[in-house]
Structure 1
Amino acid sequence: MGNTANKSFGWVGLSLAIVLTVLVVPQPAHAGCGDYPGPAVDWTGCLKERLILNGTDLTASNFEGAFLSGTGFKGALLAGSNMQRSELVRTSFAGADLTGANFEKSLASRSDFSEAKLQGARFVKAEFLRVSFVGADLTDADLNSGDFYRNDFSDAQMSGANLHDAILPRTDFTGAKMDGANLAGAFLLRTRFEAVDLSGVVGLEQTQLDLACGDAATILPAGLTAPAHWPCPAE
């Protein structure tokens, strides 16, 4: 009887100790999904679809893993924001300041980054389908190993951009500025370079160029020649 009682009290004591330990040990902080939008807001993993946040100051905010499809960030201030692994279907960042923002492994479809400021932004291993970057500034942006099928970078500033191993089939760079851009290993099937000066790009090889599209206004690096199929028919 005594042994049984001692064992019971022992288990009670152990259970109480576990409860106290759980209460005393600091628990990981949770994102404030109900927090009002503002600079440095933490919406990690939050459902924030179809919101109107045009012009909002969200500088250095955390949206990692957030669902942002259909949300409007037109003209918003998002410099230094973390957008890693976020979902961006038909999301608008037109004219937004995304300087240094991180979109690593994010997913986007038919979203709008036209005229956005994306200097030094990171798109490593991002998967973007039919996204518009028309007139955007991607100076020194990192698009390494990203998948950008049928994206539109026409008239974009791409100087110093890293497109190493990027997948760019049927993507449009018409009129883009690409001095110092790294195209080593990029997949350029039917990628359009009409009216683009490619003379200052890095890593472009003839085998890549043979898959791409250009015209008489395309300027090539020394040693490379325009394929016989140029100009490509309109699609």
Structure 2
Amino acid sequence: MNHVAPKFSPAFRLAIAAMFSALMLPQTVLAGCSDSPEAAMDWTGCSKERLMLNGKDMTAGVFENAFLSGTGFDGALMAGANLERSELVRSSFVGADLTGADLEKSLASRSNFSQAKLRDATLVKAEFLRVSFAGADLTNADLSGGDFYRNDFSNAQLSGANMHDAIMPRTVFTGATMTGANLAGAFLLRTHFENVDLSGVTGLEQEQLNEACGDAQTILPAGLTVPKDWPCADE
């Protein structure tokens, strides 16, 4: 008796092939949203909102495109972490180590990075609204092209920071250290530089300064003059 082999449609064959291909992929290719927080973890695209991860060691972790709003990272170890395009609304990173972390195009609102370590971090084209970096270390950090409306950088370390073309209206830099910071093209409408030594910054133009706010303790770069309406009137 002759047996006739069953005939499968091309679509069915493609589905079977795709299933076997997925089964043969190394496990490390897939993000482990159920994985515990640990060094070199991968939460790419995962929803991890309103968690308490304070003090956790997540060094070099991957959080790209992750939803992390309302989550606590206070004191966490996250050096070299990838937070590109992550959502960080009302998240807290107080005292966290984010040295060399990548936050390019990340989104944050009313989040807290006070006293955090962000040396050499990347915040290119980040969109941060009313975020606190008070007392944080952003030495050599790259904030170019970012939107930092009403952020608080008071007493922050910003030596060598790149703020080229950053949008920073009504942001506060009072008491910050800014030696070698690049302010070329930055939008500084009502930005506060009270008690800041700006003599070592680069790229700052008189037109930018005229829109900003300062006081008698603000030290200007050579060639620039104090605007006639300093200090700014309260609004």
Q: TM-score range by the shorter chain?
A: over 0.9
State the match for 1:47 in structure 2: 47
State the match for 1:71 in structure 2: 71
Q: Following TM superposition, by how much is the alpha carbon of 1:15 offset from its aligned partner in structure 2, in angstroms?
A: 5.4
Counterpart of 1:22 (choices 18, 25, 32) is: 18
State the match for 2:95 in structure 1: 95
Q: Say if 2:134 is the partner of 1:134.
A: yes
State the match for 1:109 in structure 2: 109
Q: Following TM superposition, by how much is the alpha carbon of 1:24 offset from its aligned partner in structure 2, in angstroms?
A: 4.2
**Residues of 1 paired with 2:87 and 2:157: CA distance?**
25
One-letter identity of the residue aligned with 1:18: L
State the match for 2:217 in structure 1: 217
One-letter identity of the residue aligned with 1:49: E
- The superposition leaves residues 157-188 of structure 1 with CA deviations (integer Å, 9 ceiling, x where unpaired) of 00000000000000000000000000000000
State the match for 1:175 in structure 2: 175
Q: Say if 2:145 is the partner of 1:145.
A: yes
What is the root-mean-square deviation of aligned Cα atoms in Å? 1.7
Q: Following TM superposition, by how much is the alpha carbon of 1:93 offset from its aligned partner in structure 2, in angstroms?
A: 0.2
**Residues of 2 paired with 1:16 and 1:70: CA distance?**
44
Q: Say if 2:181 is the partner of 1:187.
A: no
**Residues of 2 paired with 1:109 and 1:13: CA distance?**
51
Q: Following TM superposition, by how much is the alpha carbon of 1:22 offset from its aligned partner in structure 2, in angstroms?
A: 1.8
Unaligned runs of 5+ in 2: none
- The superposition leaves residues 37-90 of structure 1 with CA deviations (integer Å, 9 ceiling, x where unpaired) of 111111111111110000000000011111111100000000000111111111
State the match for 1:3 in structure 2: none
Q: Following TM superposition, by how much is the alpha carbon of 1:128 offset from its aligned partner in structure 2, in angstroms?
A: 0.3
Instruction: Determine helix, strand or coil for the equivalent of 2:185.
Output: coil
State the match for 2:234 in structure 1: 234
Change (3 A) 1:36 1:228: same
Instruction: Determine helix, strand or coil for the equivalent of 2:88.
Output: strand
State the percentage of identical aligned residues.
68
Unaligned runs of 5+ in 1: 1-5
Change (3 A) 1:33 1:203: same
Q: Following TM superposition, by how much is the alpha carbon of 1:234 offset from its aligned partner in structure 2, in angstroms?
A: 3.4
**Residues of 1 paired with 2:122 and 2:152: CA distance?**
17
**Residues of 2 paired with 1:231 and 1:13: CA distance?**
77
**Residues of 1 paired with 2:59 and 2:105: CA distance?**
20
**Residues of 2 paired with 1:211 and 1:16: CA distance?**
65
Q: Following TM superposition, by how much is the alpha carbon of 1:21 offset from its aligned partner in structure 2, in angstroms?
A: 2.9
**Residues of 1 paired with 2:128 and 2:230: CA distance?**
27
**Residues of 2 paired with 1:50 and 1:17: CA distance?**
43
**Residues of 2 paired with 1:17 and 1:108: CA distance?**
45
- The superposition leaves residues 179-231 of structure 1 with CA deviations (integer Å, 9 ceiling, x where unpaired) of 00000000000000001000000100000000000001000000000100001
State the match for 2:196 in structure 1: 196
Runs of 4+ in structure 1 over 6 Å off:
none
When normalised by structure 2's length, the TM-score is 0.92
One-letter identity of the residue aligned with 1:12: F
